[in-house]
């Protein structure tokens, strides 16, 4: 049984690494279809990353070591986060070392390194992007924590796999607090991953960008790691959403290899639907002005706290 | 944990919807949408009353549901829409406090209301006692809506929404007020609306605007 748990753990991390660019590509493809453009192939993200790994890295003259380390740190935190989130099975050996609050902390670590690296070179765009990212982050993080707290309050634990297991096995009830929290989580997901109401992932070199502005100075393998980390972040957020709001179908504690085998296509189906839904949200909404972002995130926080209160 | 019956779950969900609509009204800048939200709140209230009437078998709750439907979903919103068209006020100017700030104050008010309602709901013997807190929150949020607006129009909608909260509170604490009181309140609200409608025209004729700041300025001059 223990070996199965470790196998689940390794499988989850490997699957996250392999499927994150695919999910990213799927969202892009859906967006293109909805906007009447001809879609890029599903594997485009892999190709882009592979191409970048073959190139020679160019680093600014005054860059400090922090600038070189940051991509590895950001990528490693995202991979660690993927190891904690129960995407296929809930018995993860790693999860005893970090709970949902530590997960929020991991995302915060990645953000800090990303922002510091962006400011390190001292270009105007990098600093601008870093400041905006921190503005979005300091508003999105409390909302995300509140979302986690609501789920913890319902299941009386902060360990993400345990929360997921409890939510999946409890009697099906009409829960307004979980509904509110789901809305809040979706809004946080959009903001944290640089999706359309807050940031447009498709634009470069415009005054409105946030995420891309921070990565302007990166090239080759560093940029590849950053892009992979961004794809992983989106994947991780989607999996947190599944674990909290549609936890059915993952391999629970008692399940053997059969349950794990069944969990793989179920996760694939969830991701396909979630990616399409994300593309729809992005297509129907317009990008907000940067100064409207606090309003958007305050609403997310409001939803999360309301979820906490009506529980 | 004992399983909660489905009707009560639905009732709780409707109560949560009421609270959410109160927040939506708090954040809304367009007067037309504000009135629509008010009508929606009335509809949710009507549904909750119907559900409670069905569950408890109290006939007077059916009557008050019908009253809510007629008055708050159909008549008052229509009156308000006509007033808006005739007065040409579609937008409230900037509220006194920015939207995220108002939201945060609103959240604190909800926490306060829940604390306030705890002893009441501990004393109440109804099945809906958990909703008392939400009712108090709806009343106070409507208050806040009135406080943060400049235009008379949105203040009136806030006032009417406060009546929704009172109604819901009475319903959840004691299964509704006595019929006489309820009819009286309904009539009061209707008359108040008509009087205020006339009042709006008077204000506009005097000051060329529905901004109530003007009234305050006039007071200071004296």
Instruction: Write out pLDDT tens, residues A96-110.
Output: 788 888 889 999 999
Instruction: Write out pLDDT tens, residues A196-208.
Output: 777 777 776 567 7
Distances (CA, A) of A215 to A22, A113, A222: 21, 12, 9
Chain A, chain B: beta-carbon pairs less than 8 Å apart:
49
SS3 B90: coil
Which residues, in sequence order, are CB contacts of B65 under 8 Å at separation 6+? Answer: B46, B49, B50, B53
Residue A111: give the domain boundaries: 2-310
Nearest chain B residue (CA) to A308: B111
Report the pLDDT averaged over residues A280-296: 83
Nearest neighbour of B107 by CB, restricted to A171, A177, A302: A302
Say how many domains are in chain A: 1
All residues of chain B having their beta carbon less than 8 Å from the beta carbon of residue A174 are 6, 9-10, 12-13
Nearest neighbour of A309 by CB, restricted to B12, B17, B114: B114
Instruction: Write out pLDDT tens, residues A31-50.
Output: 888 888 888 888 888 888 88
pLDDT for A237: 92
pLDDT for A254: 62
A298 CA: distance to closest CA in chain B (Å): 6
Burial of B4 (0-12, 13-18, 19+ CB in 10 A): middle
Instruction: Write out pLDDT tens, residues A167-176.
Output: 877 777 777 8
Between CA B173 and CA A47 the distance in angstroms is: 63
Q: Are A114 and A133 in contact (CB under 8 A)?
A: yes
Q: Is the pLDDT of residue A94 over 60?
A: yes
pLDDT for A123: 83
First-to-last CA distance in chain B? 64
Backbone angles phi, psi at A154, to 5 degrees: -70, -40
Q: Which of B16, B101, B108 to mutate to test the interface with A (most CBs of A within 10 A)?
A: B16
Nearest neighbour of A310 by CB, restricted to B6, B10, B16: B16
Nearest neighbour of A174 by CB, restricted to B13, B20, B134: B13
Q: Is the pLDDT of residue A281 over 50?
A: yes
Nearest neighbour of B103 by CB, restricted to A175, A180, A298: A298
Taking the alpha carbons of B99, B105, B106, B108 in that order, is the dihedral positive or negative? Answer: positive
SS3 B211: strand
Q: Is the pLDDT of residue B220 over 70?
A: no
Nearest chain A residue (CA) to B5: A173
Nearest chain A residue (CA) to B106: A302
Best CA proximity match to A33, nearest among A256, A275, A215, A201: A275
Q: Is the pLDDT of residue A18 over 50?
A: yes
Contact B99 A180 (CB under 8 A): no
Residues of A with CB under 8 A from a CB of B: 171, 173-177, 179-180, 294-295, 298-299, 301-302, 305-306, 309-310
Contact B9 A299 (CB under 8 A): no
Q: Pick B168 or A209 by higher pLDDT.
A: B168
Instruction: Write out pLDDT tens, residues A62-87.
Output: 888 888 888 999 999 999 888 888 87
Contact A306 B12 (CB under 8 A): no
Q: Is the pLDDT of residue B210 over 70?
A: no
Secondary structure letter of residue B91 according to DSSP: B
Instruction: Write out pLDDT tens, residues B31-68.
Output: 888 889 999 999 999 998 888 888 887 788 888 888 88
Residues of B with CB under 8 A from a CB of A: 3-4, 6, 9-10, 12-13, 15-17, 19-20, 23, 27, 99-100, 103-104, 106-107, 110-111, 114, 134
Task: Return the C-alpha torsion angle A237, A268, A248, B18, nearest 10.
Answer: 50
- The whole-chain average pLDDT of chain B stands at 81
Q: Which of A293, A302, A303 to mutate to test the interface with B (most CBs of B within 10 A)?
A: A302
Best CA proximity match to A90, nearest among A24, A18, A32, A169: A169
Best CA proximity match to A265, nearest among A19, A29, A26: A19
Contact A306 B16 (CB under 8 A): yes
Structure tokens at A205: 């070199």
Q: Are B30 and B90 in contact (CB under 8 A)?
A: yes
Contact B23 A302 (CB under 8 A): yes
Instruction: Write out pLDDT tens, residues B68-89.
Output: 888 888 888 888 888 888 877 7
Burial of B47 (0-12, 13-18, 19+ CB in 10 A): middle
Contact B103 A299 (CB under 8 A): yes
Query: What's the half-sphere exposure (Cβ side, CA atoms, 13 Å) at A153?
Result: 16
Between CA A147 and CA A195 the distance in angstroms is: 19
Q: Pick B211 or A180 by higher pLDDT.
A: A180
Nearest neighbour of B19 by CB, restricted to A171, A299, A310: A310
SS3 annotation, chain A: CHHHHHHHHHHHHHHHHHHHHHHHHHHHHHHHHHCCCCCCCCCHHHHHHHHHHHCCCCCCCCCCHHHHHHHHHHHHHHHHHHHHCCCCECCCHHHHCCCHHHHHHHHHHHHHHHHHHHHHCCCHHHHHHHHHHHHHHHHHHHHHHHHHHHHHHHHCCCCHHHHHHHHHHCCCCCCHHHHHHHHHHHHHHHHHCCCCCCCCCCCCCCCCCCHHHHCCCCCHHHHHHHHHHHHHHHHHHHHHHHHHHCCCCCECCCCCHHHHHHHHHHHHHHHHHHHHHHHHHHHHCCCCCHHHHHHHHHHHHHHHHHHHHHC
Q: What is the ipTM of this complex?
A: 0.74
Given pLDDT bands bounded at 50, 70 and 90, which one contains residue B1? very low
């Amino acid at each position: 049984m223990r070996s199965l748990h470790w196998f689940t753990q390794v499988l989850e991390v490997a699957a996250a690494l392999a499927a994150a660019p695919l999910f990213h590509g799927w969202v892009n493809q859906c967006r293109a279809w909805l906007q009447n453009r001809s879609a890029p192939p599903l594997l485009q993200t892999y190709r882009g990353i592979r191409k970048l790994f073959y190139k020679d890295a160019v680093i600014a003259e005054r860059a400090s070591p922090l600038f070189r380390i940051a991509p590895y740190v950001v990528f490693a935190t995202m991979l660690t986060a993927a190891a904690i989130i129960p995407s296929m099975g809930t018995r993860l050996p790693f999860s005893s070392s970090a709970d949902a609050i530590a997960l929020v902390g991991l995302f915060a670590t990645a953000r800090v390194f990303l922002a510091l690296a962006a400011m390190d070179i001292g270009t105007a765009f990098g600093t601008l992007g870093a400041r905006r990212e921190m503005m979005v982050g300091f508003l999105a993080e409390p909302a995300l924590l509140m979302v986690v707290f609501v789920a913890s309050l319902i299941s009386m634990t902060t360990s993400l796999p345990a929360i997921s297991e409890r939510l999946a096995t409890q009697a099906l009830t009409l829960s307004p607090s979980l509904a509110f929290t789901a809305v809040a989580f979706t809004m946080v997901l959009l903001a944290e991953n640089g999706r359309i109401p807050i940031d447009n992932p498709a634009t470069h070199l415009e005054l409105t960008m946030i995420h891309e502005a921070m990565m302007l100075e990166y090239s080759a393998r560093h940029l590849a790691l950053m892009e992979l980390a961004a794809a992983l972040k989106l994947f991780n957020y989607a999996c947190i959403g599944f674990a909290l709001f549609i936890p059915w179908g993952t391999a629970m504690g008692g399940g053997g290899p059969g349950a794990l085998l069944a969990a793989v296509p179920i996760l694939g189906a969830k991701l396909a639907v979630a990616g399409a839904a994300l593309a729809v949200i992005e297509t129907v909404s317009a990008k907000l002005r940067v100064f409207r972002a606090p309003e958007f995130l305050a609403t997310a926080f409001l939803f999360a706290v309301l979820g906490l209160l009506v529980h | 944990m004992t399983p909660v019956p489905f009707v009560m779950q639905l009732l709780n969900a409707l109560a949560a919807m009421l609270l959410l609509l109160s927040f939506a009204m708090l954040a809304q800048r367009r007067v037309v949408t504000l009135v629509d939200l008010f009508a929606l709140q009335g509809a949710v209230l009507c549904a909750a009353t119907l559900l409670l009437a069905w569950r408890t078998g109290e006939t007077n709750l059916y009557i008050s549901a019908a009253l809510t439907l007629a008055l708050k979903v159909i008549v008052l919103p229509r009156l308000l829409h006509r007033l808006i068209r005739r007065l040409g006020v579609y937008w409230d100017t900037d509220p006194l406090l920015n939207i995220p700030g108002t939201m945060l104050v609103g959240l604190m008010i909800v926490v306060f209301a829940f604390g306030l309602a705890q002893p009441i709901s501990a004393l109440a013997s109804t099945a809906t006692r958990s909703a008392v807190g939400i009712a108090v929150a709806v009343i106070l949020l409507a208050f806040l809506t009135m406080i943060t607006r400049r235009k008379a129009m949105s203040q009136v909608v806030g006032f009417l929404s406060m009546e929704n909260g009172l109604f819901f509170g009475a319903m959840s604490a004691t299964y509704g007020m006595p019929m006489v009181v309820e009819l009286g309140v309904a009539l009061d609200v209707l008359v108040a609306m008509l009087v205020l409608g006339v009042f709006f025209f008077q204000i506009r004729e005097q000051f060329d605007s529905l901004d109530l700041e003007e009234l305050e300025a006039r007071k200071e001059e004296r």
